[in-house]
Amino acid sequence: MEWYYAVWKPKMEEKFGLRIHRKLFTTEEWFRKCVEVGRTEIRRKYPNSTVHQMDIKMCESLKEAITT
């Protein structure tokens, strides 16, 4: 997860202008909590990363991802 947020997303922003990112995730609450803990740690370790300005949301359906 760290590589994904700290390396991949900033490179996608630089190369392709990625600013909005929707992810289809399970509805399992424990998994979502794990993701949030990981994102908090990344904010702590990489406070100046451009990833923090991206519009990133977890969605439960393709329709939700398209319409939000």
- pLDDT of the residue at 67: 94
The average pLDDT across 61-65 equals 93
What are the Cα distances from residue 12, in Å, to 6, 8, 16, 24, 64?
11, 6, 5, 19, 23
- Could you tell me the residue ranges of all domains in the chain? 1-67
pLDDT of residue 19: 94
Q: What is the pLDDT of residue 55?
A: 95
> How confident is the model at residue 17, as a pLDDT?
95
State pLDDT tens for residues 1-53.
889 888 999 999 999 999 999 989 888 889 889 988 999 999 999 999 999 99
Q: Which residues are CB-neighbours of 3 under 8 A, at least 6 positions away?
A: none
Are 3 and 36 spatial neighbours (Cβ–Cβ below 8 Å)? no
Asked if 6 and 43 count as a contact pair (C-beta separation under 8 A), the reply is no
